[in-house]
Chains A and B, each alone.
Chain A
Amino acid sequence: LVPPVVVGLGVAALIEAYNHLSGNYAEATRDARVNQYGRWTARGSGNGGYWDGSAVDNSYTVIAPLTPTRLPGKGAAKCPPKSSRLELWRAVDDAELQSIQSTGRFTQAPNGAEVKWFSGSQAEVEAWRKLPFNSGTNRSVVRASIDPKYAHNLGNLPGEGQVWTVHMDDFGHFGQIYPHP
């Protein structure tokens, strides 16, 4: 699901963030992977001990510092709390893309639907876009972040991965919406 080069970059950013924040030196002992919440996670070791963390989003931007699970010395104390933002992805049709480009925000879905659906990662939104139910519709991918209290997790759905909904009353809590090539 995730190309190896992407995993490698994810690990590199994760370690860089860890070293920067902790003042320690560390190297990865296993590849990063996307967890059930659509976040990168990785494990490594260094002069600060072992650690687990979720530190970078799928565009390799550091969104959360590591949360060391066993880190003696200076590293643990210097790590600030986890980021409160959740990165969500959505495949939109041409009309919705145009609406986003003109208003800068998501607007209510048609036919009275109160929620919109999102994926937890780029790989998952691509999987959703390819489902038979969506055939014949041109869809573009966008991403935006939001406080997790406004996003409802629907669990892991077969063929779709982690799925989230956001109520239309909470669309204003999204940060900037970015188109994704």
Chain B
Amino acid sequence: MNISEERMQAWLEKSTAEIEENLSKLGVTFSSRKVRYRLFLSGHSNQLLTQDLALHYLNRDGRFPAVIDIAPCAIIEHELIVAVMPSGHPWVSEEERTWGGHDRGPFKVCPWSLPGSLLTAALPTAKEFVENGKLILRSIG
């Protein structure tokens, strides 16, 4: 079955919800439900994107990355920042050829994405996500 933009949106929302659930297990919760995405694709990582814009960049004439790692990476002003990292695998147009198939599509949820220099314990806390938010703001200006 060909991948549609609606299917990509549903998979991304499902993955984001899973990320928020994983974070709550770490004791990291949010006062707002606002999420922005940092897309590591073709130079877009120097911006924080809305969901619609991230999905727009992930669509190349009906072809999509086969594998996309997705992970919480920062907290900036009470907003969750999610890293979206497409792999170098060839892009595909069929659901069956994505990493997670019909159920999950290309999105592979990872526990977190944090610089090694910030990790001081086995599990990160909200502090590390806030600190990384400062680093991100500094790097993207």
Q: Is chain B found bound to chain A in the same assembly? A: yes
What is the interface of chain A, defined by CB distance below 8 A to chain B? 36-37, 86, 109-117, 133, 147-157, 163-165, 167
The one of A110, A113, A114, A165 in contact with B113, judged by C-beta atoms closer than 8 angstroms, is A165
Give chain B residues whose Cβ lies under 8 Å from the Cβ of A112.
Answer: 41-42, 86
Nearest opposing residue in chain B for A150, CB measure: B115
Binary A-proximity of B112-139 (CB < 8 A = 1, otherwise 0):
1111110100100000000000000000
Number of interface residues of B (CB under 8 A): 30
Give chain A residues whose Cβ lies under 8 Å from the Cβ of B91.
Answer: 111
Number of A-B contacts (CB under 8 A): 80
A155 to B108, CA, bound (A): 13
Give chain B residues whose Cβ lies under 8 Å from the Cβ of A163.
Answer: 110
A12 to B90, CA, bound (A): 45
Give chain B residues whose Cβ lies under 8 Å from the Cβ of A116.
Answer: 88
B116 adjacent to A115 (CB under 8 Å)? no
B87 adjacent to A117 (CB under 8 Å)? yes
What are 6 A-B interface contacts by the 8 Å CB criterion? Answer: A36-B122, A111-B86, A112-B41, A150-B115, A152-B115, A153-B114
The one of B40, B71, B90 in contact with A154, judged by C-beta atoms closer than 8 angstroms, is B71
The one of A114, A133, A147 in contact with B40, judged by C-beta atoms closer than 8 angstroms, is A114
Residue in B41, B45, B71, B85 with the greatest tally of chain A CB atoms within 10 Å: B85
Give min CB distance, B134 to chain A, whole Å: 13
A150 to B118, CA, bound (A): 11
Give chain B residues whose Cβ lies under 8 Å from the Cβ of A114.
Answer: 40-43, 45, 85
B115 adjacent to A148 (CB under 8 Å)? yes
A154 to B40, CA, bound (A): 14
A149 to B71, CA, bound (A): 18
B111 adjacent to A115 (CB under 8 Å)? no
Residue in B45, B69, B83, B117 with the greatest tally of chain A CB atoms within 10 Å: B117
Nearest opposing residue in chain B for A152, CB measure: B113
Give min CB distance, A122 to chain B, whole Å: 18
Give min CB distance, B108 to chain A, whole Å: 8
Q: Given A113-B41, A114-B42, is A153 in contact with B112 using a C-beta cutoff of 8 Å? A: yes
A148 adjacent to B69 (CB under 8 Å)? no
Q: Does B11 contact A (CB under 8 A)?
A: no
